[in-house]
Structure 1
């Protein structure tokens, strides 16, 4: 039964889609479609069974290194069974965990959920209402169960900041960790994937009115592209939400001990730019 050799386990809104796209462009690396099966985390997906999960890797070549990328795997306490389920199936996977400045991740997370109509209002009120905006930025806490299960050497910690600063070298470092022996190439012509600022807020009955194939065909036939573009842009969050200095300071205080712990666990990776104040 075919199973992954490596998994990008998160974190959400830290560049995992871009990394998965770049890895998928390398000859000898295979990533699943969909990019995020969320098999070990989501109860309804896990209920599909291991044969369904294994089928996602059937198109891989016999010599390919196989992987997937599911950010739900580092979403405690929302998905508490991930590591237990993974440990029962995968003996020694190579794991990649992407992080970024924790405050900026929380902001991007809010924009993502706002576009999906799962959160509304302003960012300040959302931080009070939705604890996951903070919880998913507690990177040391999220990665701890994987360290306990597989050991710290199984985990490659990277960051959005590192990928932006030196993409080719960082891609090569990650590829080496997952066991890829060939040379890697960063494809700069590929756009950054899943950018929060470009997301369009879903309409009520979105699946019926927008994602429905019949509605999509009618829209393309009857509505000019220029008008469709204007309508989409009207549903974007044009200004990135800002936080007051007091709120930023409070968040930094919440993240401080976790960031210190992460620095102790991965001293060669955590950089000063991940701890800088948001201007």
Structure 2
């Protein structure tokens, strides 16, 4: 089966889109469009068949390193069939798993779901209604089945924090991992998929706000002050923070999971408590 040489398997809100964009900008690296096909995880996409998936790589040139990046691949228990489906193809791609401070990740996940209208309640209440906010931050739990299926040597673990601090070194480590030297980090690409504006979407959002005709009419007919006021009502004004009680409850959960992660990747450190205020 035709497929990727490399898959960025997650985690969600940990810089995967930024890294994928950087890889896609390199000579000799082919990134699928969409970059996040979620083929092996999502039942409705998997039902399209292997020919659909193989077609995503049809424009790759001979010698290209082919890449896809699907964060759904590390979303247990939501997508339990991912690894079995990938193994059944006979493909053995290299894997990159990106992590960050788990509390910071779950806050960014909450912001993302709030902007999509999936979550409408407070952060603390969302932790009770949406267990996936915590589950997807349990990196040891999420990556262990991948280690068991493909081996730890097939997985490069990266942190969002180190990518912010020294992106050139991170890209060099990726190059060493995939056997492609001389890759260059492009600062002008910026950060991808950041949730800094935190603007709530709603049904018909694309038709009303993203449509060029609607944009022109809105700017022509609606005064800017009114437009700014409406935008402010849909915008998260400040980054939400976990209550002290929730933080205390989560600390031992994430500490135990960090130990599990270190069983596979001994270099991991500093991933238990949120030291990255304001990150998105």
Give the TM-score taking structure 2 as reference length.
Answer: 0.91
User: Aligned ranges for residues 112-261 of structure 1 at < 5 Å?
Assistant: 112-180=112-180, 182-210=181-209, 216-224=211-219, 227=224, 230=228, 231-232=230-231, 234-261=233-260
2:20 maps to which residue?
20
C-alpha separation in 2, matches of 1:191 and 1:238: 23
User: Aligned ranges for residues 1-40 of structure 1 at < 5 Å?
Assistant: 1-40=1-40
1:71 maps to which residue?
71
Which string of whole-angstrom CA distances, capped at 9 and with x for unpartnered residues, describes residues 188-216 of structure 1? 111201112224211233355445xxxx1
* 1:276 positional shift: 3.5
**Runs of at least 5 residues in structure 2 that lack an aligned partner in the other structure:** none
Alpha carbons 1:197, 1:236 under 8 Å: kept: no
* 1:264 positional shift: 2.5
Structure 2 counterpart SS, 1:125: helix
Alpha carbons 2:101, 2:274 under 8 Å: kept: no
Which string of whole-angstrom CA distances, capped at 9 and with x for unpartnered residues, describes residues 102-141 of structure 1? 0010000000001111111100000011100000001011
Aligned Cα RMSD in Å? 1.9
C-alpha separation in 1, matches of 2:91 and 2:193: 31
Which string of whole-angstrom CA distances, capped at 9 and with x for unpartnered residues, describes residues 82-106 of structure 1? 0000111143210000000000100
C-alpha separation in 1, matches of 2:227 and 2:272: 37
Structure 1 counterpart SS, 2:10: coil
* Paired positions, count: 272
C-alpha separation in 1, matches of 2:231 and 2:45: 31
Structure 1 counterpart SS, 2:30: strand
C-alpha separation in 2, matches of 1:255 and 1:94: 26
**Runs of at least 5 residues in structure 1 that lack an aligned partner in the other structure:** none
